[in-house]
Amino acid sequence: MSLDLDARQRAMLLEMGLRIWQRPAADEATAAPASPAPARAAARAIAPAQPATASAPPIAPIAPVTSLTSLTPIELATADGAPIGWPQLKQAIAACQACGLCAGRKAAVFGAAPDQAPAHWLVVGEPPDEQEEREGQAFAGSAGQLLDNMLEALALQRGAAGALGAYVTNIAKCRPATPRNPTPQELGTCQRYLQAEIALVRPRLILAMGRFAAQSLLQASVPDVAAIPLGKLRGQVYRYQGLPVVVSYHPTYLLRTQADKAKAWADLCLALATLDAPASDNS
The CATH code of the domain that includes 210 is 3.40.470.10
Sheet strands side by side (includes 243-248): 157-158, 162-170, 119-125, 205-209, 243-248, 237-240
Least Cα distance to 196 among 113, 95, 90 occurs for 90
- What is the arithmetic mean of pLDDT over 168-184? 93
Read off the pLDDT band of 28 (50, 70, 90): very low
Distances (CA, A) of 155 to 9, 40, 99, 192, 197: 8, 7, 38, 30, 23
Please report whether residue 11 resides in a domain: no
Q: Per the domain annotation, does 48 fall within a domain?
A: no
**Residue 95 maps to a domain:** yes
Question: Does 201 reside within a domain?
Answer: yes
Sign of CA dihedral 168, 6, 236, 226: negative
Distances (CA, A) of 24 to 3, 10, 28, 34, 204: 13, 16, 6, 15, 40
Q: Is residue 149 part of a domain?
A: yes
Whether residue 133 is contained in a domain is answered as: yes
Provide the domain count of the chain. 1
Q: Which residues contact 163 (CB under 8 A, 6 or more apart)?
A: 120
Residue-range definition of the domain harbouring residue 252: 65-282
- Cα 255 from Cα 212, distance rounded (Å): 18
Cα gap 78→6, rounded to integer Å: 47
Give the Cα separation of 83 and 62 in Å (integer): 14
pLDDT for 78 beyond 70: no
The band of 109, judged by pLDDT with boundaries at 50, 70 and 90, is very high
- In sequence order, what are the beta bridge partners of 21? none
CA distances 274 to 125, 128, 134, 152, 241, Å, are: 20, 28, 35, 18, 16
Nearest to 214 by CA among 123, 149, 102, 116: 123
**Mean per-residue pLDDT for 189-195?**
92
pLDDT at res. 84 = 77
Mean pLDDT of the chain: 79
pTM listed for this prediction: 0.76
**Is the CB of residue 175 less than 8 Å from the CB of residue 109?**
yes
Residue 56 domain-assigned?
no
Q: Considering the domain boundaries, does residue 19 fall inside one?
A: no
Q: At what angle do helices 141-152 and 261-276 cross, to 10 degrees?
A: 50
Lowest mean pLDDT among 67-71, 129-133, 166-170, 264-268: 67-71
Render pLDDT for 201-215 as a digit per residue (tens, 0 to 9).
999 999 999 999 999
